[in-house]
Every structure is written in C-alpha cells, then in structure tokens.
Structure 1
C-alpha cells in the first residue's frame, strides 16, 4: 500500500449514545447506559483512513470548550493531522443518539449549528487551497452548508484527485443537490438514496440506474445487514455482508465502509474489490463499541476480508 495524501472536511464533534438495556418502551423511562466519544461522519472516516496507513488532514469548525479538546485528543490518538478553525465563544457540535439493546438506532438529535459557519470563504484561504491541491483524495460529508459543498466540488472539478462524499442523513444529503455530477463517489444508505432519487421504494438492483439518472456517476448504497450495491461508469455489483452473531454498535459502520472502499480505490482496486474492502471495514467497526474502531489496520482489514463473499456483478 502506498501512503496517500487525504483531506477530510466535515463533521468532527461529540457523539453521545444511550443504549437501552431491555426491550424498548416508547414514551417511558428506559434503563440503559450512556457513552460519549468523538465522532462525526468525516472524522470517523479520517481516523479509519489514518489507521489504514494514509496521511490524513481533518478540516472542521470547533468550539473553544472541553468537547473540542476531546476531539483534538481523538485526532492525535488516531494519527490524524488536526486542522480546525476554532470559535472560542461557541460550543462544539454534538450528536446524541438512543440505541436499542441490539445496537440499532431509535432516535437521534443533531446539534450542528456551528457547521453553518464553515463558509465557502474558508476554502479560499491559502493554507486550505494548498492542502486540497496536494491531496490524492478529498472526502467531505454533508454536515457542511450546501453552498460550501458546491464550492468545494466546483473547485476540485477537472483534477486527477478523487472527490467523494458521505451522505450523513436523509435530511442532509440534499445539500449535494445540483453538484452530484461533480462527485466521483457518494456513500449513502437506502433512505438517503430515496431522498436523492425521489423513489418511494426500489429493489437494490435498481439503485445504480436511479442514481445515475439523478446525476451521480458512482456510489454505494448500503442497507444495514442486507446486500449493498456499488456502481460506477463501467458497471455495478452487489455484495451481502457476512452474518454477525452480535453487534457492538452500528454507529460509524457506514463511515467505515466508505473508508475501506476509498482506501482500496486509492490502491487501484476494481469496483467489486473496493466494495469487499468497504464491507470488511464495516465489519471491523460493528465488532467495536467505538464509532472508529481502534482495531482498524491494514492487517486486520485483510483478515476480515476473507469473510466477505465475492460480489455479484450486475448487468
């Protein structure tokens, strides 16, 4: 594996997760446990890619508070080059989720107002322009404002670097809006794909044609433990994750899939191989209580890869 220069822009904040101990009872007090760590779609992916051996910079707004210090410490622990712009009088964004006993999401609350201050002007700063120009991969998530995503995608057009996006949520994926055609890859789940395409429902094999019609050249659609589909200009493929006896936590699995897929893409691996690597990275994360597994490494990824079946190529 060749070490690559990667820049990640987007969410780097605090994740708070409450896990219900028994059967979930809506509208009532449920016994459970509470856990807090650094998170964010972009930041999870940044830490995974750094642990896979790449040189990764993270650019994100942050508050001047203890939560911001926690994010900085997590970046240092994972080997991410931390490049925040700090608002001393603001609080660091947060994501608070309630999970069922099996790790699946019940409901979540995103307090992300600070990301609105990541304006296109930030992209025009000399240091940022130089970092982006030197990157083999630029990865963003949809925590950024729509105008900033548009400016970023426009600025990277016509270059040899890979420009990829993470959808984050159905509410935020629309921020890619009219710039879908400028992305080399977009990672999303089926709920986010429905928002992008306007399709109320679709068979997994239909997502490539529906998303191409929406303007996207290549992407991956995940469906939890069901088969995921990947497509690009040359074709499409389908792969089913291996069955897992138990899930530690689903948080960060999609970000890990994007990380494994992109790491393989940077190594010149084809679409089917990239999807297998992405699923293997997600499996590693699903076995961890953390959103960015400390066990993520090239060796562990190769070990888990043997459990992932060969994808089925689609016509």
Structure 2
C-alpha cells in the first residue's frame, strides 16, 4: 500500500510574461505570456503523486476560474485535492515579468488568501483525520506563522515526521518559531542566509547554524554548486550533474524536495535520498513546466544513473 502524505501549503497560479527583445522600462513591451498552477506545496504534492504516493493537498482557494485550473491540475497528477474554498475571494497568484534572458524585471504576489488558513482550520474533523492517516506531513512557508507553529505542534504530538519548503527569504523566517519541530527543511542559499542571518564563505557553516536554531535536518541547494544536506547524525554533499536542454528552472527545488522525501519514505539513507532529489530536479528543469508531467519512478531510476554518489562529510 502506498504511503500517505499530507501537504498543507500553497496551491495557486503562476503567471510569467517574457519580453521578446530589449526591455524598455515605462512603456509597452512585446512578449509572450504563460501561466500554470504552482506553489511550493502543490508542486511537491504533484511530484510525489507521480512517484506513486497517496497525496492529499489542503490549501485555501478562491471560487474562480483560476481555482478550477488548480483543481484540474491536481486531478491530472493524481492528488487528492481538498481545498478550503472561499467563493467570494480570488485564488492566490504570482505574476512575474521576465527579461528576454529570463532575469526578473518585477513580480507581484497576491497571496492574501493564505492568511485565512489559520490554526483553527486544523481542528476541522477532515483535517484531523488526514493528520491521523498520514505517514508524513509536508508544509510550506506560504502559510502564516501561527499556522505553521500549530502544524509542527500537531506533528510532534502525533509523532509524525514533518518536512517544510522555505518558499522565499521573506517567508522562511515564519518557520523560526517552530523550527525545532521540523525534521527536514528544503531551502536555497538566499533562504538559508535569511534564516541564519549570515552568509558564510563555507556552506557547511550553515549546517552548524541551522542545527543551533534547533533544525533536525535540511537540504540546501546552491544552483550548480554542490547540494549540502544534513540530518541529526549525518552530513553529505553532492555535485549536481550538468543538465542539457534546460527548459525552465521553475519548480526545481520543489521536485528536489519530493525526490528526497520519496527516498526517505522508502527507507533509504540521506546520501541516497539526496541523489533521488537531484535526479528529480534534473528531470524537472528539462520540462517547460514547474512539474514534469512525465515524472515517474521508472524515469527517476533512469536519471539516477547520471547522478554521482554523495560525499559523506565529517
């Protein structure tokens, strides 16, 4: 029987507009528009479902056509979608304008609806049942601080492993109050710097600092530089392989989180789990979408052959 994962976090629409030529500030720029469902929790949920897990997603959503797009994406990925629907509100969205080379010009995040996912929502019978049935809880920092704290308290009380996705430097600090209740946190260098309020020359120093904050385990991605990961007893480093034909890096960190968690739930050790995460991320960046629609256990196994062994650190 497939293990059950409960995901609580962001499920919204990502809109990206790419300017065709040179950017002309303050005027109309020709370009192309693309939109797709996104959100850290939702991206990870879809990846985990495609890897064969029984995934339930709980997130606030508006009663609009955008919300229907998110629901359809969940259905296609095999996610058990159980949103809190606010009929008079808009589904959250993230809208970015990119230069021709992909650099961000400006972005607008309309995420106010997530504030309505307060701790009291966790007391609803269906949510309590989902906690009881889950083998793993995954949340993201789109949710309010008090809700993340309540999720961590419930996971600790029920002795359920809790993983979290940092989302952004501005949002990861919401996890400060409950970080000791998080078993694995997935974050990049900018988010690690925001959480520790430091930017050491050696990335391994972040591990000491995160442990000092009370974090039990984490995975720090660093672009094309080595991923560093740690648990309470281990530290590993892994150089991601060069990936040809990169289409879009959006969602790579969320797929890495899904790959790592899938391996940990299968009983593999941290070094192998990081390999699975890096393989899942490599598959995703070759897709134009935030989640690769062709992701499967078989494809992940094929990609693993291209991922080197992790280096154990003392």
TM category, shorter = over 0.9
> CA shift at 1:103, angstroms?
4.4
* Other structure's SS at 1:157 match: helix
Corresponding residue number in structure 2 for 1:75: 74
> CA shift at 1:250, angstroms?
1.2
The answer to whether the 8 A contact 1:102-1:247 is kept is: no
The answer to whether the 8 A contact 1:45-1:255 is kept is: yes
* Other structure's SS at 2:61 match: strand
The answer to whether the 8 A contact 1:103-1:250 is kept is: no
Corresponding residue number in structure 2 for 1:98: 97
Corresponding residue number in structure 1 for 2:272: 273
Decide whether aligned partners of structure 1 residues 27 and 240 sit closer, same or farther in structure 2, where only a CA change above 3 A counts.
farther
* Other structure's SS at 1:43 match: helix
Aligned counterparts, 1:1-315, within 5 A: 3-22=2-21, 30-103=29-102, 105-315=104-314
CA distance in 2, matches of 1:102, 1:233: 40
Deviates more, 1:157-166 or 1:79-88: 157-166
Deviations 1:234-269 (A, max 9, x none): 111111111123421111100000000000000011
* Other structure's SS at 2:284 match: helix
> CA shift at 1:105, angstroms?
4.5
Deviates more, 1:152-161 or 1:252-261: 152-161
> CA shift at 1:97, angstroms?
2.1
The answer to whether the 8 A contact 2:145-2:177 is kept is: no
* Other structure's SS at 2:108 match: strand
> CA shift at 1:169, angstroms?
0.4
Decide whether aligned partners of structure 1 residues 34 and 135 sit closer, same or farther in structure 2, where only a CA change above 3 A counts.
same
Aligned residues: 314
CA distance in 2, matches of 1:277, 1:22: 38
Decide whether aligned partners of structure 1 residues 151 and 275 sit closer, same or farther in structure 2, where only a CA change above 3 A counts.
same
RMSD, aligned α-carbons: 1.6
CA distance in 2, matches of 1:25, 1:266: 49
Deviations 1:115-135 (A, max 9, x none): 000010000111100111110
* Other structure's SS at 1:203 match: coil
* Other structure's SS at 1:172 match: helix
* Other structure's SS at 2:83 match: strand
CA distance in 2, matches of 1:23, 1:126: 54
The answer to whether the 8 A contact 1:75-1:82 is kept is: yes
Deviations 1:164-217 (A, max 9, x none): 000000000011112101001100000000011110344222221121112211
The answer to whether the 8 A contact 1:103-1:247 is kept is: no
> CA shift at 1:76, angstroms?
0.5
Structure 1: any 5+ residue segments left out of the alignment?
none
* Other structure's SS at 1:171 match: helix
> CA shift at 1:102, angstroms?
4.9
CA distance in 2, matches of 1:102, 1:241: 23
> CA shift at 1:162, angstroms?
1.7
CA distance in 1, matches of 2:219, 2:23: 31
